[in-house]
Amino acid sequence: MAQAGSIARTAGRAGRRLLSSAPALFGVLVFTFLLMRVLPGDPAVFFASGPNAGKAEIEALRAQMGLDKPIPEQLVRYLGDIGTGQLGRSMTTGQPVLADLRERLPASLELTFSALLIALLLSVPLGVVAALRPGSPIDHGVRLLCALGVCVPTFVSGLLLIYVFYYLLGYAPDPTGRIDVFAASPPNITSFLLIDFALTGDWAGWRAAASQLVLPAVTMALFVIAPLARITRASMLAVLGSEFIRTARSVGLSRPRVIVTYALRNAILPVLTIAGIVFSTMLGANVLVEKVFSWPGVASYALDALLASDYAPVQGFVLLMAAIFVTVNLVVDILYGIADPRVSVT
97-339 CATH fold:
MetI-like fold (1.10.3720)
Position 1 scores a pLDDT of 47
Q: What does the alpha-carbon distance between residue 105 and residue 210 come to, in Å, rounded to a whole number?
A: 18
Give, for 131, the enclosing helix (H) or strand (E).
Answer: helix 97-132
How far is 300 from 93, CA to CA, in rounded Å? 13
- Contact (Cβ atoms closer than 8 angstroms) between residue 276 and residue 224: no
What is the distance between the alpha carbons of residues 219 and 221, in angstroms, rounded to a whole number? 6
Strand-pair partners of 89:
96
Residues in contact with 276: Cβ distance below 8 Å, sequence separation at least 6, in sequence order: 328, 329, 331, 332
Q: With contact defined as beta carbons under 8 Å apart, do 117 and 129 qualify? A: no
pLDDT given at position 65: 72
The whole-number pLDDT of residue 274 equals 83
Alpha-carbon gap, residue 125 to 338, rounded angstroms: 21
From first to last of its 346 residues, what are the pLDDT tens digits of the chain?
Answer: 444 555 555 555 656 666 767 777 777 778 887 877 777 766 766 666 555 666 777 777 777 777 777 778 888 888 887 878 788 888 888 888 899 999 999 999 999 999 999 999 998 898 888 888 888 888 888 888 877 777 777 888 888 999 999 989 888 888 888 887 777 888 888 889 999 999 998 888 899 899 999 999 999 888 888 888 888 888 888 888 888 788 878 887 788 888 877 788 888 888 888 888 888 788 777 888 888 898 998 988 988 888 877 888 888 898 888 888 888 877 777 766 665 555 554 5
Helix axis angle, 97-132 relative to 203-240, nearest 10°? 50
